[in-house]
Amino acid sequence: MMKVDIEKCIGCGLCVKDCFPGDIKMVSDKAKIRNIACFKCGHCIAVCPANAISTDEYNMDEIKEYSKEKFDIDPENLLNFIKFRRSIRQFKTIDVAKDKLEAIIEAGRFTQTGANAQDVSYTVVRENLAEIKELTYETLNHIGEQILSNPSPENQAYTRYAKMWINMYKKYKENPVENDKLFCNAPAIIITTAFSDVNAALASSNMELMANSLTLGTFFSGFFVRAASANPEIRDIVGIPEGKHIVTCMTVGYPDVQYKRSVPRKAAEVSWK
Ligand SMILES: Cc1cc2nc3c(=O)[nH]c(=O)nc-3n(C[C@H](O)[C@H](O)[C@H](O)COP(=O)(O)O)c2cc1C
């Protein structure tokens, strides 16, 4: 429940103005939250100049007061940071400490979600990565064989991938360390699951930026997501909650490659109306 401390409330009405579901009214020059339509976005807590609003549903201790020095990012630096980020497919054989993985998840946790659903869950795999990897390779190999043995028009588009997956599996079996094209020997993966794909994808993007700022490298494994959607055994091993589905799988490790510059891209397709 959202609560207003009447003693602190100065009756400025900023919370009323910023409350998207219109759940706050002014009563006798004090803000009153009905807690009916409220979807607990916390805007009222953030906007109040008197710090008069709190909730018993979230941890209030983690709230930070704004400071320009700590909260602002120079736009040129931000854009350069985005331009310089790369998918990393060469990792050092160094483990990633738990606090670093927690910091990455924190970036996901504070990413916006539709209707403030906060429905994204995170599964960090380190211990049984080998088992999951093996099962994923087997599954991709199986999907590949199925696609090649049934050249339907729908499957035609995936022929290239089918051949790639079969080849990846073969090479992996020959030398699992040298030829790991699935996770590229990353020491950890973080799987996001959600009710909404958009929510988990947005969270993942912020998580990647956070990982980069921690000098870690990542790439998203679409192959893992493809395999997990085809083989429920993978979902079981990873322990995906009922109703949620796997949206992204992010490998995490320390890069064993250094890029000297950014890459070129297609011009943006933009229409101005
Ligand atoms: C949804 C998604 C799935 C991806 N799946 C894979 C994958 O399975 N294996 C892989 O090596 N890279 C994968 N990538 C990385 C892309 O190939 C990479 O982002 C792209 O080539 C551009 O390179 P950059 O990330 O270095 O800018 C994936 C990226 C995204 C966004």
Model confidence at 234, pLDDT cuts 50, 70, 90, reads: very high
By alpha-carbon position, which residue is closest to atom 22 of ligand 1? 87
* Residues 178-204 pLDDT 10s: 999 999 999 999 999 999 999 999 999
Q: Hey, what are 51's tokens?
A: 């710090």
Nearest CA to ligand 1 atom 7: 221
Mean pLDDT of the chain: 96
204-220 confidence digits (pLDDT tens) = 999 999 999 999 999 99
CA of residue 273 to ligand 1 center, whole Å = 32
| pLDDT at residue 112, rounded to an integer | 98
Tokens matching residue 132 = 């999951």
> In the prediction, which pLDDT does 241 show?
75
User: Looking at residue 119, what is its pLDDT?
Assistant: 95
User: What mean pLDDT comes out for the span 27-43?
Assistant: 97
pLDDT at 199 (0 to 100): 98
Q: Which helix (H) or strand (E) holds 164?
A: helix 159-174
Quick one: which of 219, 199, 222, 200 has its CA closest to 211? 219
Q: Is the pLDDT at 25 greater than 90, yes or no?
A: yes
Who contacts 95 (Cβ-Cβ below 8 Å, separation ≥6)? Answer: 126, 187, 188
Reported CATH class of domain 2-62 = alpha beta
CA distances to 91, 95, 192, 212, 252 from 215, in Å: 12, 13, 21, 5, 11
pLDDT for 203 equals 98
137 Cβ inside 6 Å of ligand 1 = no
Give residue limits of the domains in the chain: 2-62, 73-273
Provide φ and ψ at 103, rounded to 5°.
Answer: -65, -35
* Whether 202 contacts 116, CB under 8 Å: no
Q: Is the CB of 183 under 6 A from ligand 1?
A: no
Domain spanning 73-273: which superfamily? NADH Oxidase (3.40.109.10)
Beta bridge partners of 248: 192
Task: Kindly state the helix (H) or strand (E) to which residue 238 belongs, with its residue range.
Answer: helix 232-238
Would the CB of 226 count as within 6 Å of ligand 1? no
**Mean per-residue pLDDT for 62-91?**
97
Q: What is the pLDDT of residues 105-116, one digit of tens each?
A: 999 999 999 999
**Residue from 85, 88, 161, 219 to probe ligand 1 pocket by mutation (most atoms less than 8 Å from CB):** 219
Contact criterion met (CB below 8 Å) for 124 and 188: yes
pLDDT of residue 227: 97
The answer to whether residue 17 scores a pLDDT higher than 90 is: yes
